[in-house]
Structure 1
């Protein structure tokens, strides 16, 4: 027959385990992000996508198409080096170039969002080349986060081109 302290210890261990499981499920749900990102680089003073960067982008798109049946959208931001003469105009042109690449491959223009350069368009960002475009892709459900309590997507997005 267990003693009172053994019974108390057993109950406490079960409570701690239940709390830990609850915390783990909440923290995993909050941490889930289906966003996929890619950074592309550009030559100095240029908004033209090099063949190497176009191949990278094309490969990334193929990977996205094989991983996700639907998509919410692409969010694109251009960046320049502080020494480039083109400034915000060049940052915008770089983002537009990438946006056009995506729409030329069947992605809906209403789901390809080119962001207007803000005050940080020419400030260094850790881990990001200054002469670049950053692309964030948001898949629609189904994706690994759709079953999470924090993701209650009503919009099933658009079908990936070629499906």
Structure 2
């Protein structure tokens, strides 16, 4: 999963993830996963006063039925869900990685990574913030 998200390495990395999977050939998540995403938004990102970024990452895997077009539709669906839950489009980045059997998670896997803004435990300063605000 680390290969799917290419971000600069920092001494302290703090993010909160939501992992899900699409049904084969599906453009949209099933209702049960949309509900789980809504609960995650309420319980995790909502706990932070400042939000920096939401990063959507998933795979393109033509040999496994996930064409580039299907992968783009899936990222658009996840972005639409996040905006429906109140995330500004400017805070959403998206990545479609090439599926690599044996090194990647399942081809229908999708990942949303939330990075809060400061304050959080890894904020720069003399003492990291240890409490969620």
**TM-score of Structure 1 vs Structure 2, range by shorter chain:** 0.7 to 0.9
| Mapped partners of 2:36, 2:102: distance in 1 | 21
Task: Flag the structure with higher strand content.
Answer: 2
* Structure 2 contact 79–92 (Cα < 8 Å) conserved: yes
Uncovered stretches (5+) of structure 1, i.e. residues with no partner = 1-28, 152-163
- How many residue pairs get aligned? The number is 118
What is the aligned partner in structure 1 of residue 109 from structure 2?
132
Task: Flag the structure with higher helix content.
Answer: 1
Please give the TM-score of this superposition, normalised by the length of structure 1: 0.63
What is the aligned partner in structure 2 of residue 4 from structure 1?
none
Greater radius of gyration (CA): 1
What is the aligned partner in structure 2 of residue 15 from structure 1?
none
Shift of 1:85: 3.6
Task: Give 3-state SS (helix, strand or coil) of 2:120's partner.
Answer: coil
Shift of 1:68: 0.8
Q: Does 1:45 align with 2:22?
A: no
| Mapped partners of 2:66, 2:103: distance in 1 | 22
Uncovered stretches (5+) of structure 2, i.e. residues with no partner = 1-9, 129-133
What's the Cα RMSD here? 2.4
Shift of 1:136: 1.0
Pair 1:45–1:80, CA change in 2 (3 A): farther
Q: Does 1:145 align with 2:125?
A: no
